[in-house]
Structure 1
Amino acid sequence: MQLKPQDFLVALKLLVWGNQRWTYARLGQALGLSASEAHASVKRGLLSGLLLPNRVSSAVTTGTPGAETQSLQEPQGIYRVTRKRVRSSSVPSENAGTLDNPVRVHAQALAEFTLHGAKYAFPGVRLPLAVGVPTSHSAPAFAGVFAPGGTDFVWPHPNGSARGVGVEPLHPSVPFAAMQDGKLYEMLALFDALRVGKARERNMAAERLLTLIDPGASEPRREKLHG
């Protein structure tokens, strides 16, 4: 099994949604994917450890979206406690949406992969000058951090508002998905800073990404600055 770029994109989107209830149709629509593509990405995310199952009977390992399967099971004792907790209160808890969803994000694993593996699995590719959506240190996430005048980076897109060096997005649907969700946009732009940015930009991006993905983790080791 090999992770695909859209699998990483799906994991980031689920992180942004947090406790919101979702369906494969909604997930796919938000990311410019089909429901079956979203389902396949969740399945690979589970196999890789970036996602964790929420239910004894999970619909994400085999078959089509919505199918039931017993192939991924949490320990019986854990399931009983979870089920009892949900039923014991007539007032929905803040985690009710998470428990209703088939999977949840494994924050520690996603943070580790984002900072130390994803840029090698999905390396940044620079493209010719283009009009597009600002990314890396040119995105709003870096507004006011770096002095103007440096190289701007963009995802080429006909509805873009800036001109700069093109960067091949993680997945073709990234510009669309980012323009629909500011928090997802921030994380994708920060990830591009890891892929194509200089040492200072990479350090800042790594710190911010860790805060967004796994706030309780220790700070990442900083790269040495040269020049």
Structure 2
Amino acid sequence: MKPVDTVVAAKLVSVAINGISYQGLSESLGISAAEAHAASRRLIKARLFRDKDRQVPYPKRQALLEFWVHGLKYVYPAELGAPSRGMATSVGALPLSALFPVTEEGVPVWPSADGNVRGPALEPVHPSALTAAQDSRVYELLTLIDALRVGRAREQHLARDLLKARLYSWC
């Protein structure tokens, strides 16, 4: 698996009911159609998605949730860096931002010149996350995933519950 697979998985979950073409997938994530197709194939090979007579794979909800909750932080570890300007993530973005107060250090951010929030830098799981975040559902999934990668126990627990709710209602 590669880091882009996580972003592709989030997008496929966000459009699971309506579906999407590989061309639409690539355009919405800012990656090539070949890269989107290869990521989808890897997700199927990892048994996180399945071909279901659809143009693109369909999520295996329980397997994907298990990987996101228990595996992702080990496969793609995250570290908070120096203060930076960027897009809020983890506890700094909805839905978790409504549940946690802002600390003195600020909220974690994906570094970006276009960002409007200042806080400790957290590199996204893949650079295409910034483009993918234009879709509010994908942004929400990726910020919850970041909470699992860098959050404390309470933040991780809430992120897990929110991810599960979204997986089971969107797919």
TM, length-normalised to structure 2: 0.92
Q: Contact 2:92/2:102 (CA < 8 Å) preserved in 1?
A: no
Partner deviation per Cα, 1:93-121 (whole Å, 9 max, x = no partner): xxxxxxx4242111111111111111111
Q: Contact 2:9/2:43 (CA < 8 Å) preserved in 1?
A: yes
Pick the structure with more helix per residue: 2
Aligned to 1:126: 80
Aligned to 2:113: 158
Query: Which stretches in structure 2 are left out of the alignment for 5+ residues?
Result: none
Aligned to 1:114: 68
Partner deviation per Cα, 1:182-221 (whole Å, 9 max, x = no partner): 1111111111111111111111111111111236xxxxxx
Query: Which letter does structure 1 place at the counterpart of 2:72?
Result: A
Query: Which letter does structure 1 place at the counterpart of 2:39?
Result: S
Q: Please identify the structure whose Cα radius of gyration is greater.
A: 1
Q: Contact 1:111/1:214 (CA < 8 Å) preserved in 2?
A: no
Aligned to 2:50: 52
Q: Contact 1:7/1:42 (CA < 8 Å) preserved in 2?
A: yes
Aligned to 1:97: none
Aligned to 1:197: 151
**Higher mean C-alpha deviation, range 155-164 or range 120-129:** 120-129
Report the Cα distance in structure 1 between the residues aligned to 2:52 and 2:101, rounded to whole angstroms: 45
TM, length-normalised to structure 1: 0.70
| Deviation of the 1:127 alpha carbon | 2.1
Aligned to 1:171: 126
Query: Which letter does structure 2 place at the counterpart of 1:125?
Result: E
| Deviation of the 1:150 alpha carbon | 4.5
1:154–1:102 CA distance, 2 compared to 1 (3 A): closer
Number of residue pairs aligned between Structure 1 and Structure 2: 168
Aligned to 2:99: 145
Report the Cα distance in structure 2 between the residues aligned to 1:49 and 1:40, rounded to whole angstroms: 14
Query: Which letter does structure 1 place at the counterpart of 2:109?
Result: V
Aligned to 1:21: 19
Report the Cα distance in structure 2 between the residues aligned to 1:22 and 1:210, rounded to whole angstroms: 22
Query: Which letter does structure 2 place at the counterpart of 1:144?
Result: A
Report the Cα distance in structure 1 between the residues aligned to 2:88 and 2:162, rounded to whole angstroms: 18
Report the Cα distance in structure 2 between the residues aligned to 1:118 and 1:41, rounded to whole angstroms: 16
Query: Which stretches in structure 1 are left out of the alignment for 5+ residues?
Result: 56-99, 216-227
Query: Which letter does structure 2 place at the counterpart of 1:158?
Result: A
Query: Which letter does structure 2 place at the counterpart of 1:192?
Result: D
